């Protein structure tokens, strides 16, 4: 809140418009006495802070990798039927490792965390 500055003529004491340039409309005097209003600013604020958190989890499947993984999962036991002994064991281990590695890459989890802080 700010009160407007008031002005009075120095010659006749007539109150004049502080924004209007001299001379005084009543007596033509050029002198003026200004009195500034007191400006008091009281900060009155009620602060409410609200934090809104939004979490989103999206799973993205890499289709071609998933097909390979499923192909290995289903195909390898069939291949294993025709392979016996150490060779079959090595192929089985390789297939398991490949399935494991590819499987972990086939599905990608994307986490999105949004935080909105609202001041009001």
- Contact residues: Zn ion, CB under 5 A: 9, 11-12, 14, 24, 26-27, 29
The phi, psi pair for 94, rounded to 5°, reads: -60, -45
Question: In whole angstroms, how close is the CB of 14 to Zn ion at the nearest point?
Answer: 5
d(CA 84, CA 92): 11
- Minimum Å gap between C-beta 16 and Zn ion is 7
CB 106 within 8 A of CB 61: yes
Smallest separation (angstroms) from Zn ion to the CB of 19: 16
What is residue 62's three-state secondary structure?
coil
- 34 vs 70 by CB, closer to Zn ion: 34
Nearer Cβ to Zn ion (6/14): 14
* Residue with smaller CB distance to Zn ion, 24 or 69: 24
Shortest distance in whole angstroms from residue 3 CB to Zn ion: 22
Could you tell me which of 59, 61, 57, 60 has the C-alpha nearest to residue 69? 61
């Amino acid at each position: 809140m700010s009160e407007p500055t008031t002005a009075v003529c120095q010659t006749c004491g007539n109150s004049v418009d502080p924004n209007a340039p001299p001379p005084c409309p009543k007596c033509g005097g050029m002198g003026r006495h200004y009195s500034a209003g007191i400006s008091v600013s009281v900060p009155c604020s009620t602060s409410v802070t609200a934090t809104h958190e939004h979490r989103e989890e999206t799973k993205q499947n890499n289709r071609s990798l998933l097909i390979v993984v499923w192909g290995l999962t289903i195909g390898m036991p069939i291949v294993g039927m025709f392979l016996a002994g150490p060779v079959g064991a090595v192929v089985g281990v390789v297939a398991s490792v490949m399935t494991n590695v590819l499987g972990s890459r086939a599905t990608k989890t994307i986490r999105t965390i949004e935080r909105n802080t609202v001041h009001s």
